[in-house]
Structure formats: structure tokens, C-alpha cells
Amino acid sequence: MTSARLASLLPVSFSRDFTASIVVFLVALPLCMGIAVASGVPPEKGLITGIIGGLVVGALAGSPLQVSGPAAGLAVIVFELVRDHGLSALGPILALAGAIQFVAGILKLGGWFRAISPAVVHGMLAGIGALIVVGQFHVLFDAKPLPNGLQNLAAMPARLLGLSASNVAAAEMAFAIGLVTIVAMLTWEKLRPATMKLVPGALVGVLAGTLVAWGFGLSITRVEVPSSIVAAIVPPDAGFLGRMLDPALLVTAVAIAFIASAETLLSAAAVDRMHNGVRTDYDKELRAQGVGNLLCGFAGALPMTGVIVRSSANVQAGAATRLSAVLHGAWLLAFVALLPWLLREIPMASLAGILVVTGWRLVSVSHVRHLFHHHGVLPVVIWVATFVMVVATDLLTGVIVGLGLSLLELVPHLRRLRLRVDANHGDERSEIRLEGAATFLTLPKLLKTLESIPGGRAVSLDIRKVPAIDHSSAEMLGEWIQRRRSGGTPVNLDAEDDQLRKIAA
């Protein structure tokens, strides 16, 4: 069969998916290893999660263009878990978390995770980002992170003051490689030519750090990976089921399931805003993530989520279907199986440099300004409290405090929390009328109605009888209207001035 004949039998989208999968693979490779290092586990654990996220979750996902893999958002909680209970506890906890996600998907609870306050989610991610920065800062010096964020922060000045230009040792050399990685990454992202815009900065940074370390023969700590990826898989042992029933670990499993689900579905919503194709089925996505985390637990790997960095790279590279995510998992498997010796040349300081940049970008001060200008002081207080508690105590405490403060948004509207949603669908136009307070409690109901409107149909949305709208509902409505309009569908909004100000944020 000729190549022309073969090409004619392939879907038109295949070439786009094939190209995009290579771009996503190049983005995912250093991040899979780096997030594993930040989680306190061997790098190959992150690679296994990336492979499962591509080959399995990519095929089952409810969000066709989202890419799954190890996420920085869970690095801190995994680090603390491994530190306190050992690496052997990770598999049972992750399998249980995956089962919880799968059941939540079957029970159609996906919409409720979308109702989580954006201030809580972004505050949580900012706290995680700060912890990654202060933890990986020490890895830049070929040292190990200290047990918690405050200790890591307090020890940072001593690391810098301990450097010596006259006595160059491992710490000085590793720090130099970390700086080379960071500078190369940021410079490439700022100055790269348009013809090479799809080459990821993280890959360029790791290549620069690795080449400098190899060229000068520097004696610094490098990545350790087994000669066979199969050897990195740790199947369940005799005590696996017993640890799943340990009450002390059950809380951690619920926390991982909750945070992974929220991050995944918020990422999927962001991916939907980037393209005009098939929308996300949130319950299907939740079930796919549950299967993925269940398999990661049985393989002794890292937890996974839908990841916005890899997903946005996938969309920008022109992916058309879920095949791109599946192929990226195949490239990861092929690379790890055939070229493990190349991974062993990568300095740990280079991965730390990538993570310092990644963590810093999670601390989005611009989002705080957005919350304040469009939704007032309370969402900012929720963000700050979540951030501070994540850094000062732990991830779960920070999220619980943030969710608790979110309830304050309901206090002024306790007597009118019900939201009536009337939908009338004509041949060419749908009319949606809302009456009552629009809060995060009613967001799943409202979202279900809006998402059920067929694409391409004009929409009239009347919210004049909505006396109050919290920032979670306002952000969701604004995103939905923007997505419909960007797809060429007219949306007419009848609202009061205050309501318009919030929704147009």
C-alpha cells in the first residue's frame, strides 16, 4: 500500500493530533519527573503516572483535549504523606482515592466540584506554589527539603549566605546549573522565534542545564531511574487492602480525591474556553480520573489530575481529538523504555529550577486583584486565608478553612437561597429566566441547564430577578457567556448594573 493511499485512509485530524502529541510529550517529560521529585518520590513514579494518564485516561476522558498526569497541586500532600507514613502507604491511599472519584462520577457529582469557590481553589494553588518554591529552592543546592514550608522558608537565607566563590563545591555547582536552567527557560519563552513557539521552555531549560553539567563534567546529583520501567512498578503486596481500611489514611484518601477532582474539572472548564469543539462531560471525566488513579495506586505511582499546562499546550498545538493525549502517553513509554540512560544525565538541580518557576507561576496575584475589583473584599479574604493556612499548616486545613469562609457569602441571603430556573426552548432561540439568589449551592443546577442548550442557538438570559450573585456563580456565568459568544452564538443578557459588573468581570 502506498503512503498516499495510507494517508487517505487516516482521519483528517490524525496529522494534527500526531504533531500535538509530540509537543505535549516534550512538555510532560520534564514535568513528570520534576513533580515526582517535589513529591519526595523517585522520578520514575511521575513518568508512570504520565503514561497511565495518556494511554488510559486519555482514551476514557470526558474532556477530549485535556491531558492528565502528575500535578504540582498534589505534590505537597504526597510529600507529607510519604514523609509521615512511608512510600508503601501511597498505593493504597491512591487506589482508594481513585475509587472515590469513580463512584462520584457514577453518582453524577461532577457539577458539584465546579461549585467550589474559585477563591479557595486559587488560594490553594498559590499556597502549593509557594511551598514548592521554598522546598525546591534547597534542591537547587543539592540538598533535601526540610519537613515543612515554614522551616524551608526560614532556612533559605542560610543557603544563599553559605555559597562561596573561592571554594566551589557541589552546592555552588548545583546552584549554578539551577540558575542556567531557569534563565534558559525564561529567556526562551520570551525570545523564541514564531517558527519554534511550540518548543516548551521547560524542555529547553532542562537541556541547557544538562548540557552544561555534562560538558564541564560537574560532580552533582543527577536523576536516578531504573533500567526498566517495569522495575519501577510496585504491585500491591499482602498488606495493601489492610492499609486501605486504616482510618488514619482514609482522611488523606478523601482529601486527594477531593483536590484532584476539583483541579481536574476546573482545568477542564479552562480547556473548554480555549476551543469550540466538543464540551466536557464532567461526570465521565471524573470516572476516567478515578480509573487512572486506581491504576496508579496499584502501580505504586503518583496521583494524577487533568493538568492545565499540558492541556493548553495540546490545544495550542492544534489537537483535534483525544488521540493526541493517548499518543503522548505512548511517546513517554517509548522514551523511558528505550532511553533511560539519557534521563540519568539530567541534574536534579535542573528539575528543581523548572519547579521553582512552575511554583512561582501558581502564585497568581493578578487573580487576587481580579477578585477584589469585580467581587469585593470577601473573596480576597477567602483567598488569603486559604493561602496562609496551606503554607503555615497543611493543604487539607487550608482548604477546609477556605470552604468554611465561603459559607459567609450565604449569610446575607439565608431567607432566599432557592434559585428558580425557567427554560423555554424555541426553534431558533432559548430563553432562560432566573429568580432568586445565585450562589454556589445552586451553581450545579444552573450549570446543567446552561450546558444543555444546543450549540449555535441564540440565548436570552434574564437575571433581573436575581437580587444577589456570589463570585462563584458570576465567574461561571461570565465564562459561559464568553465561550458562547466566541463561538459565534449571540447571548442577550438582561441584568441590573451591579449584576452586569460582576458577570462582565
Q: From edge to edge, which strands make up the β-sheet containing 458-465?
A: 419-425, 429-436, 458-465, 491-494
d(CA 116, CA 113): 6
Contact 472, 118 (CB under 8 A): yes
DSSP string computed for 313-329: HHHHTT--STHHHHHHH
Q: What is the pLDDT of residue 482?
A: 84
Q: What is the pLDDT of residue 114?
A: 78
Q: How many alpha carbons lie under 13 Å from residue 421 in its C-beta half-sphere?
A: 15
In the predicted structure, residue 235 carries a pLDDT above the cut 50: yes
Q: What is the pLDDT of residue 3?
A: 46
Q: What is the pLDDT of residue 149?
A: 82
Alpha carbon 425 to chain centroid, angstroms = 36
pLDDT in tens, 236-262: 887 888 888 888 788 889 989 988 998
Mean pLDDT, residues 195-211 taken together: 92
Quickly state the pLDDT bin for 10 (edges 50, 70, 90). low
Q: Pairing state of beta strands 491-494 and 458-465?
A: parallel
* Segments making up each domain of the chain, as ranges: 11-156+221-345, 363-413, 417-503
Q: What b/e string do you get for 379-405 counting C-beta neighbours within 10 Å, with b at 16 or more?
A: bbbbbbbbbbbbbebbbbebbbbbbeb
List the grid coordinates of 157. 537565607
Quickly state the pLDDT bin for 8 (edges 50, 70, 90). very low
In the predicted structure, residue 100 carries a pLDDT above the cut 50: yes
List the grid coordinates of 10. 487516516
Quickly state the pLDDT bin for 117 (edges 50, 70, 90). confident
pLDDT in tens, 332-381: 999 999 999 999 999 999 999 999 998 898 888 888 998 998 888 999 99
User: For 433, phi and psi rounded to 5 degrees?
Assistant: -120, 130
Mean pLDDT, residues 175-184 taken together: 97
**Amino acid making up residue 262:** A
Mean pLDDT, residues 305-329 taken together: 91
Helices (H), 339-424: 340-343, 348-362, 365-375, 377-392, 395-406
Contact 383, 123 (CB under 8 A): yes
Q: What is the pLDDT of residue 7?
A: 44
Angle at the Cα of 472 (from 102 to 453), degrees rounded to 5?
A: 70
Contact 263, 328 (CB under 8 A): no
Mean pLDDT, residues 30-56 taken together: 94
Query: Which residues, including other chains, have CB under 8 Å from residue 191's CB and lie 6 or more apart?
Result: none
Query: pLDDT exceeding 90 applies to what percent of the chain?
Result: 48
Quickly state the pLDDT bin for 6 (edges 50, 70, 90). very low
CATH class, 417-503 region: alpha beta
DSSP 412: G
Average pLDDT, the chain: 88
Mean pLDDT, residues 306-315 taken together: 88
Quickly state the pLDDT bin for 191 (edges 50, 70, 90). very high
User: For 453, phi and psi rounded to 5 degrees?
Assistant: -75, 125
Quickly state the pLDDT bin for 9 (edges 50, 70, 90). very low
Cβ burial, residue 445 (10 Å; 0-12/13-18/19+): middle
List the grid coordinates of 446. 444552573
Query: Which residues, including other chains, have CB under 8 Å from residue 83's CB and lie 6 or more apart?
Result: 40, 147
Predicted TM-score (pTM) of the model is: 0.83
Mean pLDDT, residues 322-338 taken together: 94
- Report which secondary-structure segment, H or E, holds 424: strand 419-425
Q: Give the closest residue to 312 by CA, choosing from 11, 21, 45, 65.
A: 65
d(CA 434, CA 78): 42
CA–CA distances in Å: residue 174 to residues 141, 168, 288, 345, 348: 5, 10, 40, 13, 8
Mean pLDDT, residues 195-213 taken together: 93
59 C-beta neighbours (distance < 10 Å), count: 14
